[in-house]
Amino acid sequence: MNEAAQSMRIAVGVPRGSPPEETRVALVPSVVPQLVKSGLDVIVERGAGEPAGFPDADYAQHGAHLGTRRDALGAEIVVRVRGWGFDGHGNLDVSHPDQVIIALADPLGSPIPVRAAAEHKLVTLALDLVPRITRAQGMDALSSQATVTGYKAVVLAADRLPKMFPMLTTAAGTISPAQVFVVGAGVAGLQAIATARRLGAVVQAYDVRPAAQEDIESLGARCILLPLAPGDAEDQSGYAKELGAAFYRRQQELMAQVVAGVDVVITTALIPGAPAPTLITADAVAGMRPGSIIVDCAAERGGNCELTRADETVVTDNRVTILGPTNLPSTLPHDASLMYSKNVVALLGLIVKDGRLALDDEDEIVRGILVTAGGKIVHHRVRRALEEVRDD
C-alpha cells in the first residue's frame, strides 16, 4: 500500500477497560494482523491488555500501534468491552462527531447514556443487540461472555461448598455427589450444567422455555418439569418473555420445593430489557440446607433470588451463602477477551469494506445493533426504553 493510501486507513482504538475494575480488553494481539490486512490501523492504549495477560510487546509484534489513551480514544472506531465510555454525568473523555463506538452497553436495560451518545453525535453499536440469527453467531458477544459466566459460577460454588462435587468411594467411606440445580438453561445455564457435570455433580435444571428440555437432557442433567402452563413463554427471537405475576408466584412455590433438596443453586434466568424475574424467595432460602450455596448470575439485573445483593456475599441465618457477582467474565479476562475479540472482529468485518466504513442500515444485523447515528436515537426499542425511564 502506498503512503497516501496508508494515511487514509481507518484507525480502530482499543482503550483500557473502564470502569477500572473491567479487566477484559476488546481486541487481543492475535487478531490484529487480520484487521491490518483488511485495511485498518489498530491503536492500543499502553497497558490495555495487561490485566488480561496480553502485554504491550505482543500487540506491537502483531502490528498494532501503542499509544496514549487520547490516541486510542481519538480513532475513527473505538472498541470497548462494557459501556460506551460515559462517566456518571454523560461525559466522555475524548470523542468526535461520527466516531463509531462498539461495546456491550445494555442500552435496553440502562438507556440513559444513549441520550448523551446522540448529543455527542456518536455512532453507537451495541453488541448486546446482535440478532440471534445464524449469520450473526460470530458476533454474539452475549453468548461468548455468558459461556464464561456459566463456567465460573460453578467454579465459585465448588470453592465455597463445604462438600466435594463428585461421588467418591474410598477406604474412608463413600462420599455422595453434590446436588446442583441450574435455573435458566440459556447459554450461561447450559455451560453451568456442563461444568457441574464435569466436576461430578448430579445436576437438575429448569427453564421456562419448553425447548430447553432437550438441551438440558443432552448434557446429562435431569430436566425439572414444573406443572405450570407458561403459555407462550418465548418470543420470536427465542428469548423468554415476561410472564404474569400469578405465574411467577406459582413458580416460586414450586422452586422452593426443589431448592430445599440441593446443595448448589445457580440462577441465570433473564428476560431481555426487563428486570430479572424473582424465582427464589427468602422463604425458599430459609428452607435450604445449611452450607448450601446460591450463585445468582442475574445479580446485575436485580437477581433471581430475593436476598441477592449485587457484588456482595450474603450469609443467611440458616447458613446459606448467596453470591451476586455482576461481572464474572472479567474474573477470567484472558479467555473472555479472546472470545470477545473474535466477536468484535466479526462485526468489524461486516461494517468495514475495502478499508472504508460501510454501515448498511438495510442489513438486519446493522439495523439490530445501531443505537445512535447523526445525532439521533435510531433504535426504536431503545427509544421506547428511554421513554419508559422518563415516565418513571
Residues assigned a catalytic role: 132, 137, 140, 143, 239
To the nearest whole angstrom, how small is the minimum distance from the Cβ of residue 216 to ligand NAD? 10
* Residue whose Cβ sits closest to ligand NAD: 186
Least distance (Å) between residue 286 CB and ligand NAD: 21
Cβ 101 to ligand NAD, closest distance in Å?
23
Nearest distance in Å: CB 38, ligand NAD: 24
H or E element that contains 313: strand 313-315
Given a contact cutoff of 8 angstroms between Cβ atoms, the answer to whether 143 and 182 are in contact is no
Residue type, 5: A
Burial of 7 per CB tally in 10 Å (0-12, 13-18, 19+): exposed
Residue 257's nearest CA partner among 302, 226, 216 is: 226
Nearest approach in angstroms of CB 347 to ligand NAD is 14
- Closer residue to ligand NAD, CB minimum distance, 251 or 330: 251
Question: 244-276 burial, b if ≥16 CB within 10 A, otherwise e?
Answer: eeebbebbbebbbebbeebbbbbbbbbbbbeeb
Smaller CB distance to ligand NAD: residue 137 or 176? 137
Residues 6 or more apart in contact with residue 276 via CB below 8 angstroms: 269, 270, 298, 301, 302, 303, 304
The radius of gyration of the chain's CA atoms, rounded to the nearest angstrom, is 22
* Distance from C-alpha of 147 to C-alpha of 28, rounded to nearest angstrom: 18
Rounded Cα distance between 292 and 114, Å, is 41
C-beta closer to ligand NAD: residue 49 or 186: 186
Closer Cβ to ligand NAD, 87 or 283, answer by number:
283
CB of 273 to ligand NAD, least distance (A): 10
Cβ-proximal residues to 295 (8 Å cutoff; 6+ apart), any chain: 153, 154, 156, 157, 264, 265, 266, 267, 323, 325
* Residue among 177 and 324 whose Cβ is closer to ligand NAD: 324
Name the DSSP class of 385.
H
Minimum CB distance to ligand NAD smaller for 99 or for 251: 251
**Residue ranges binding ligand NAD (CB under 6 A):** 132, 137, 140, 142-143, 146, 183-189, 206-209, 212, 238-240, 251, 268-272, 277, 279
